[in-house]
Amino acid sequence: MNIQFSKDIPLNNQFDIIVVGGGPSGCAAAISAAREGASVLLIESTGALGGMGTNGLVPAWCPFSDRTKVVYRGIALEVFEKAKANMKHVKAGDLDWVPIDPEALKRVYDQMVVDAGVTVLFNTQVVSAVNTDKKIEYIVATNKAGILAYQSKIYIDCTGDADLVAMSGLSFEYGEEGSGEVQPSTQCFAITNVDEYHYHNSPFLHMNNPDCAIYDIARSEKYPLVVDPHCCNSLIGPRTVGFNAGHLWNVDSTNPFSVSEALIKGRQLAYQLHQGLKEYLPETYGASYLIATAPSMGIRDSRRIIGEYKITFKDYIERRSFPDEIGRNCYFLDVHHSIDKNEKIINGESNGEEEWESYSDGESHGIPYRSLIPKNIKNLLVAGRSIACEHRVQGSVRVMPVCLVTGQAAGTAATLACDTFDVRDIDTNNLRNILRRNGAYIE
Ligand SMILES: Cc1cc2nc3c(=O)[nH]c(=O)nc-3n(C[C@H](O)[C@H](O)[C@H](O)COP(=O)(O)OP(=O)(O)OC[C@H]3O[C@@H](n4cnc5c(N)ncnc54)[C@H](O)[C@@H]3O)c2cc1C
């Protein structure tokens, strides 16, 4: 049953650009737009910036290098270096799989958006977009002050779920082509009072290491939610290990009931995994303490936009370059396995890697500006994990260094589009020159 609801609500139209979502892509978009002189409002539904890297407790950055040079530069590298400077156990030159202290990272994003002059609105959820003539006229959000409308010249959707695209009635893709299946989710967590000596000197816990204890825990059936050996982990602080471990299948991040159920199950999974670690690795985890599970569910994929250009698997394999590319990407096609394949993995017949594709040293592909432009709308850009690409490619471009790069490009492009209110009306050579001047890696 539907009901009609109408109400006079205040309209705020004082900003040039509104960025929705304060994850890596949203922060980079807001910072770059503000540095280019636009007045920017950044709306974030939680109480902290950083998205999956902070509220999601993802414990490590995906590699910043192609093993010959840094590929993700500009604001991405700035965020990364600032976050790293807070980590006393990380070497200054480390570039790949660097751990994340989530509290330090929150402060890095806070400081960078404040320094750039961005206005941040926390605890505010965007719930609707009102469109006319292929343009977003205004968006509607809710917070403690009630229901409010916000209007700007250009909007940037960095919600990770392409919420503004869906709210604007535009088409999108969801999950794998054909099946619609999304990658499993993971609720990350942190364990403290870990014995660091044994952490460093025991077989590394990882699904690629079939002799490690995670396989014993998963096979034991004593911990019924620990059904697979996915177990990335990093030392994120003194005696404290962050875990990106375990899988929850069939979580639909666009369905709040599905996410709520997953959060309850995810907290149980983290507890069971911790109990298993205590039992199977008592020297390392015997005295340890489960200090936090992520407040935000770890969603790997959901909606992807139908954009002016869709990055394809073939583009990835051919290491393709584009005349309008705004950055490069070298991360492997990291698509987490479906529930059907779990049995093979847990039986040691596969580590899931047969579906992964990765590059040799020094290789990368381009990300065209057009993959950030949703079709059939003039004043909207998308950055982060929902840019236009095939599902397998999303397994690569979804990670944080890439999201920071697409965010910076979207923020800069939005500033250029403020005069015409149309993100297609910009000179992409000019965009690329500005990005290059601001440190981006553009060949
Ligand atoms: C379990 C897991 C492990 C991962 N591991 C790694 C890893 O090891 N290394 C790595 O680099 N990457 C990793 N990733 C990928 C990466 O963390 C995310 O894909 C990336 O953070 C996506 O960035 P984003 O800006 O697109 O979205 P997000 O980080 O999801 O941020 C979106 C933000 O928008 C806000 N938001 C959403 N909807 C609304 C709305 N309607 N109104 C207002 N605000 C809204 C959210 O609260 C959130 O803060 C992992 C992801 C997951 C889920």
User: Is the CB–ligand 1 distance for residue 299 below 6 Å?
Assistant: yes
Is residue 152 a contact partner of residue 163, using CB atoms and an 8 Å limit?
no
Sketch the domain layout of the chain as residue ranges: 11-177+302-336+357-437, 189-293
For the CA of 127, the closest atom of ligand 1 is 41
CA of 170 to the centre of ligand 1 (A): 22
CA of 129 to the centre of ligand 1 (A): 21
Mutate to test the pocket of ligand 1, among 255, 400, 404, 405 (most ligand atoms within 8 A of CB): 400
Helix ranges (H only) for 221-281 are 256-280
Pairing of strands 17-20, 40-43: parallel
Topology, domain 11-177+302-336+357-437: FAD/NAD(P)-binding domain (3.50.50)
Query: How many Cα atoms within 13 Å fall on the side-chain side of residue 427?
Result: 4
Can you tell me the distance from the alpha carbon of 314 to that of 333, in angstroms, rounded to the nearest whole number?
12
Is residue 80 a contact partner of residue 92, using CB atoms and an 8 Å limit?
no
Please list the pLDDT of the chain residue by residue as tens digits (443 residues).
999 999 999 999 999 999 999 999 999 999 999 999 999 999 999 999 999 999 999 999 999 999 999 999 999 999 999 999 989 999 999 999 999 999 999 999 999 999 999 999 999 999 999 999 999 999 999 999 999 999 999 999 999 999 999 999 999 999 999 999 999 999 999 999 999 999 999 988 888 888 899 999 999 999 999 999 999 999 999 999 999 999 999 999 999 999 999 999 999 999 999 999 999 999 999 999 999 999 999 999 999 999 999 999 999 999 999 999 999 999 999 999 888 888 778 777 776 665 677 899 999 999 999 999 999 999 999 999 999 999 999 999 999 999 999 999 999 999 999 999 999 999 999 999 999 999 999 98
Is residue 173 a contact partner of residue 304, using CB atoms and an 8 Å limit?
yes
User: Is the CB–ligand 1 distance for residue 62 below 6 Å?
Assistant: yes
Pairing of strands 135-143, 231-237: unpaired
For the CA of 407, the closest atom of ligand 1 is 25
3-state helix, strand, coil in the chain (%, to 5): 30, 20, 45
User: Is the CB–ligand 1 distance for residue 186 below 6 Å?
Assistant: yes
For the CA of 298, the closest atom of ligand 1 is 53
For the CA of 398, the closest atom of ligand 1 is 19
Distances (CA, A) of 99 to 73, 235, 330, 398: 18, 7, 19, 18
Residue with the nearest Cα to atom 13 of ligand 1?
399
Residue with the nearest Cα to atom 34 of ligand 1?
21
CA of 160 to the centre of ligand 1 (A): 6
pTM: 0.98
User: Is the CB–ligand 1 distance for residue 22 below 6 Å?
Assistant: yes
User: Is the CB–ligand 1 distance for residue 158 below 6 Å?
Assistant: yes
